[in-house]
Amino acid sequence: SIVRSYGIDVCYDDGCIAVNQHGMTKYITVYPAMKIEPVENDSVFISDQQIKYAKPFAVKKILDVFGN
């Protein structure tokens, strides 16, 4: 609901989470914190530890992708 307040739509489709704003879509990928963060153009990578203990950082990563 926090990212929705910034005008970002959240879609759940076939086990995938996608965020969309102004026609740009990015997929949310959760990865284990003990691994190095992967890099892909169409995904936002958030560690499992950020989701569990540092939600503001996870939200900021999503907002930064869209320039909010």
Q: Report percent pLDDT > 90 for the chain.
A: 63
pLDDT mean over 11-22: 89
3-class DSSP assignment, residue 57: helix
Q: What is the structure's pLDDT at 34?
A: 87
pLDDT mean over 15-23: 91
Could you read off the pLDDT of 36-55 as tens digits, one per residue? 888 888 899 999 999 999 99
Q: What is the structure's pLDDT at 35?
A: 87
DSSP string covering 23-45:
TEEEEEEEE-TTSPPP--TTEEE
